[in-house]
A and B are shown apart, each in its own frame.
Chain A
Amino acid sequence: VNVDELFKEHRERLLRYLLRLSGNLDVAEDVLQDTFVKALEKPPTKQDNVKAWLFTVATNLLRDRSRRSARQNEILLERTPPAHRPPSPLQHSEAAELRLRLYRALDGLSERERTAIVMRQEGFAHREIAASLGTTTGTVGTLLARALSKLTQRLSLDGDTP
């Protein structure tokens, strides 16, 4: 496995995935870095599903980090602008507000629910999500249904949608 190529191919998706799970850009970047250090130290031995391996490593590293330190309550999707610079118009746009609502809603899920729904969004099969969470596909279905139900309440998925 060429880790350099792996980085180029998956960096952006993995960073966004970690951002959705953690809600914090600094944390996401740190775990992204750790993930690829791990990939260099012990590259995946099987070629067939490198993407699942990479996302599982990242998920576990983020989980380990969360256990070591309390989850950061502040949702930080952008780099903090310097104090002397006014916020850009983008930061006040409607899309930015909607993004923040999505991340707050994700933040309200349990860690396993959040991982399941975000991995599903990345296109992983239920068996891959189950392998990553160390559970069964049946439990994954339950987690996904619960996540959808909670997000429906918080984002009005059955009514006011963007």
Chain B
Amino acid sequence: MPDTPILGYITVDSDGEGFRGAALVVDHRGIPLDFRYTDTVSPTRLERVLYGDALEIYVREEVILGSLLDAVEESPHIWICGDRHLLGPVSQRSKGLAVTLEGSNRNSLDEPGALSPMPEEGYYLLQVSLMGPPYRLSVLSVPDSAKAASILVAAGATMDVLEPFNRIERAIESLE
């Protein structure tokens, strides 16, 4: 487990017309080390017809994720994805640990690091911080859950590990 974990956050959002991705890498205090975003990729009507259902997967995974991960210069200990569909591609391309993290309305678990499996496969409740609700963690494999928990708990002692997604959203909004 790293003493000062570096966390990566990656999202790909669609507004119905186009797709845009962003990646933020922060240190253990939540201070940005690198931030990248893509131009909006807007497929034409012909491309939507030709590619069909595969279009979204192709644009998200191949075009946007690939470009973002190639561009980011920092190597985070963990990638926190904005969508579970990104887990596989991010893990494969970065050759590292990838998880998703969401808030929950549950009561706090016993102590930071407490990990409780949920009924859905690959999902856990993780108490990251001393105070506050547990987070909903999803991973690709069971061994990933323990690795991810140790990194997130270490980071959670000095920062809010879910908060950087808000900053990505605000930064992207300011571009438009």
Bound pair: A and B? no
Which B residues lie at the A interface, using CB under 8 A? none
Which A residues lie at the B interface, using CB under 8 A? none
